[in-house]
Homo-oligomer: A and B are copies of this chain.
Amino acid sequence: MTGKRQEKSRAMRERLVEAAWARIARSGLHGLTAREIAADASCAVGSIYTVFEDLDELAIHANLKSLELLGGALVSASAGTSGTEALRSLALAYARFAVEHRLLWDALFDLRLAQPTPPEFVEANSGLLGLIGRALREIPVVAPPDDLAARSRTYFAAVHGIVFISLQGRFVGHPPDNLASEVDAFVALLARGLESEAVER
């Protein structure tokens, strides 16, 4: 039998990521402790550090798992739609994901990294922004030479902020129940603004 070493270490890697992800989903990023993860993954605490640089790197990989889940939700939500309708579907699906997987979603943004963001993460994010870009391209005003990527990021950021502040619950105003309609109205407003831009040109 050859390559037994690689295989075992990769299996442990996966177990660790799975355990970390499950624990974030249950207790949030704060509930991520080396000893508990190790217990969940049936290995020693020290083993974590033979496979990952530190707990942050493990958390990043757990977040990548969440990002994949989010990506799936966005893709299926926007399937068969286009233009402003696609924008609305994407925004609503994003809000729904945040509500339904609250702790996983929180962890995506709570994690502050000492080191620069790893390329896998940037790529995953770009993929999701690409969905917005596709929708924007179908709206006349937003086309080359406009920077589609920049606009996508801005509009995503705006919706993200609305979801974030709403779920944070530190401000008076909409309770989270109304989040969907809040987001919907906002995207509609955005679309109006874009149409108005188109008319003027």
Among the interface residues A117, A171, A172, which one has the most CB atoms of the partner chain B within 10 A?
A: A171
A112 within 8 A of B: yes
**How far is B171's CA from A121's CA once the two chains are assembled, in angstroms?**
9
**Which B residues touch A158, using CB under 8 A?**
158-159, 161-162, 186
What is the predominant secondary structure among interface residues of chain A facing chain B? helix
> Which of B110, B157, B159, B185 is A112 in contact with, Cβ under 8 Å?
B110
| CB contact under 8 A between A157 and B166, given known A172-B126, A189-B193 | yes
Scan residues 53-68 of chain A and give those whose CB is less than 8 A from a CB of chain B.
none
Binds B, one of A7-15, A40-48, A148-156: A148-156
A182 within 8 A of B: yes
Nearest B residue (CB) for A118: B170
Give how many copies assemble into the complex. Answer: 2
Nearest B residue (CB) for A111: B170
Interface residues of A (CB under 8 A from B): 30, 106, 109-110, 112, 117, 121-122, 125-126, 129, 149-150, 152-154, 156-162, 164-166, 168-174, 182, 185-186, 189-197
18 new A-B contacts at CB < 8 Å, known A154-B173, A154-B182? A121-B170, A125-B170, A125-B172, A129-B171, A129-B172, A150-B182, A153-B173, A154-B162, A154-B185, A157-B162, A158-B186, A161-B165, A189-B190, A189-B193, A189-B194, A192-B193, A192-B197, A193-B196
